[in-house]
Amino acid sequence: MTDLSKLEGTLGVKFKNQEVLKEALTHRSYLNEHPAWPLPQNERLEYLGDAVLELAVTERLFTRFPDFQEGRMTTLRAALVNREMLSVIAKEIDLQKFVLMSRGEAKDSKKAKDIILSNAFEALVGAVYLDLGYEVSREVVDKLVIPHLEEIVEKGLDRDPKSVLQEVIQEKLKVTPTYEVVRESGPDHQKQFEVGVYFSEELFAEGQGSSKQEAENRAARNALTKLANEAKRHD
């Protein structure tokens, strides 16, 4: 197994029990190819980490935004701990270099690997909590997750991206964004959709997803990011 000291350094922790860390990095597919591996898969730690992560983020939102009501804090938390965001955070710490999975899973689609990585990150938080306690696990969340909060608030990523984009474009261009499927790929049980978002019939951004709705949401989110980047260049 890869030396885990680099991962510990990135997290800013030192595990007392390395076996807990290794368990957090063990995807169930790995056990199919390595039945002699002495540790269980990471789904129990994932379950624990999900709760720890939610509590740590909730606590930070509660103290940082005293004027926000429950509904806004709930959407912010959802934007911070959803699968897409956690997979981004997992890649930022190179978690893919440490997760144990089967050769088949390692070659699977980007979406499938992103799911494995987001789940492994939750398991990692659970492992830190189990081995080192809540305070340390909260410090890990503060270090890796909370920094994304500013971007989420600034870009309104906690809101429905299609609604936000419609508001922005109607104000700027006096038109309503439209969405069209650009292409479809994959078998029926694993269909992937690529959707374009258009302003006055001009393609502005695209997004992919396993459903048309998911692809539309990602296209809208990509459009908002593109608009924000353009605005920064013009500042």
Look up 50 and say whether it is catalytic.
yes
How many other C-beta atoms can be found within 10 angstroms of the C-beta atom of residue 43? 14
Query: Can you tell me the distance from the alpha carbon of 67 to that of 35, in angstroms, rounded to the nearest whole number?
Result: 52
Active site residue 216: no
Give Cα 128 distance to the centre of its chain: 19
Catalytic residue among 8, 43, 50, 214: 50
Which member of 46, 114, 122, 158 is catalytic? 122
Three-state DSSP at 194 gives strand
Amino acid (1-letter code) at residue 157? L
Structure tokens at 173: 């261009």
Contact 26, 143 (CB under 8 A): no
Measure the CA–CA gap between 114 and 111, rounded to whole angstroms: 5
Which positions are catalytic?
50, 122
